[in-house]
A and B are shown apart, each in its own frame.
Chain A
Amino acid sequence: MENDKNMPYRKSGKGAVIGKKAIGFSFDGTDYQGLEGDTLASALMANGVHLMGRSFKYHRPRGVVGAGSEEPNALVTFDRGTGRVTPNVRATVLEIFEGFVARSQNNWPSLKTDIGAFNNTFSMFFPAGFYNKTFMWPKSFWDKVYEPFIRNMAGLGSAPTEADADVYASVYGHCETLIIGAGPAGIAAALTAVKTGERIILVDENPVFGGSLLSAPNDEIDGIKASDWLDKSVKILENAKNVTLMTRTTAIGYYHDNFIGLAERITDHIPNLKLGVSREKLHRIRAGKVIIAQGAIERPLVFNGNDRPGVMLASAAQTFLNRYGVAVGNTAVLFTSHDSGYAAAFDLADSNVRISLIVDARNEVPKDIQTEAAKRGIEIISAASISKTYGKNRITGVEVYVPSTGEKRKVNCEALLMCGGWTPSLHLWSHSKSSIRWDDNIAAYIPDQPNENAMCAGACNGDFGLRAALQGGNKAAGGRKSYKVHERDFGTGTTFVNLPNYIDASKQKAFVDFQNDATEKDINLAVREGFSSIEHVKRYTTIGMATDQGKTSNLNAMQIASKAIKKTVQQVGLTTFRPPYTPTTYGTIAGYRSGDLFEVERKTPMDGWAQKRGAVYEPVGVWRRARYFPKVGEDMDTAVARECKATRDSLGIFDATTLGKIEVVGPDAAKFMNLMYTNPWVKLGVGRCRYGLMLGEDGYIYDDGVVGRLAENRFHVTTTTGGAPRVFRHMEDYLQTEFSHLDVWLTSTTEQWAVIALNGPNARKLIEPFIEGIDLSPENFPHMAVREGKICGIETRLFRVSFSGELGFEINVPSHYGRAVWEALFEAGKQYDITPYGTEAMHVLRAEKGFIIVGQDTDGTVTPGDAGMVWAVSKKKKDFVGRRSLKRPDLVASGRKQLVGLMTEDPNVVLEEGAQIVADPNQAIPMDMIGHVTSSYWSESLGHSIAMALVMGGFDKEGENIYIPMQGKTHKAKIVKPFFYDPKGERLNVV
Chain B
Amino acid sequence: MFEIHCPYCEEKKPEIEFAYAGEAHIVRETKADDLSDQEWAEFLFYRDNKRDDHHERWWHQHGCNMFFNAVRNTQTDKFVTTYKMGLNRPKINPSTNNIKAVQNGK
Contacts and interface: CB of A to CB of B under 8 A. Distances in A.
Interface string A869-907: 000000000010001110111000000000000000000
B21 interface: yes
Contact of B65 (A732, A740, A885): A732
B21 to A, nearest CB: 7
Contacts of A451: 76, 78
Interface in B63-105: 65-67, 76-78, 85-86
B11 interface: no
Interface stretch (A212-220, A253-261, A510-518): A253-261
B32 A733 contact: no
Interface residues of A, number: 24
Contacts of B59: 729, 732-733
Contacts of B57: 737
A688 B86 CA distance: 36
Contacts of A887: 37
A736 B44 contact: no
Nearest to B28: A738
B85 A256 contact: no
B49 interface: no
Nearest to B32: A884
Contacts of A259: 1, 3
B9 interface: no
Nearest to A888: B37
Contacts, number: 54
Contact of B86 (A255, A740, A883, A885): A740
Contacts of A255: 1
A738 B59 CA distance: 15
A884 B67 contact: no
Interface in A421-462: 433, 451
A740 B86 CA distance: 10
Given A256-B1, A257-B1, A729 B61 contact: yes
Contacts of B41: 888
A857 interface: no
Interface string B10-40: 0000110001010000001110110101001
A298 B32 CA distance: 66
Contact of A732 (B15, B37, B44, B67): B67
A608 to B, nearest CB: 29
Contact of A885 (B14, B40, B61, B76): B40
Interface string A208-229: 0000000000000000000000
B21 A879 contact: no
Contacts of A883: 32
A733 B33 contact: no
B17 to A, nearest CB: 13
A913 interface: no
Interface string A195-218: 000000000000000000000000
A577 B1 CA distance: 18
A697 interface: yes
Given A257-B2, A885-B40, A879 B30 contact: yes
A698 interface: yes
Given A884-B33, A884-B40, A888-B37, A433 B76 contact: yes
A166 B67 CA distance: 42
A736 B85 contact: yes
A284 B1 CA distance: 10
Given A732-B65, A885-B44, A737 B2 contact: no
Nearest to A451: B76
Given A729-B19, A733-B21, 19 more contacts: A256-B2, A256-B3, A256-B15, A257-B2, A257-B3, A259-B3, A451-B76, A729-B59, A736-B66, A736-B85, A737-B57, A737-B67, A737-B85, A738-B28, A740-B86, A879-B30, A887-B37, A888-B37, A889-B37
12 contacts: A256-B1, A256-B15, A698-B44, A729-B61, A736-B67, A737-B57, A737-B67, A740-B85, A883-B32, A884-B35, A884-B40, A885-B40
Interface of A: 255-257, 259, 284, 286, 433, 451, 697-698, 729, 732-733, 736-738, 740, 879, 883-885, 887-889
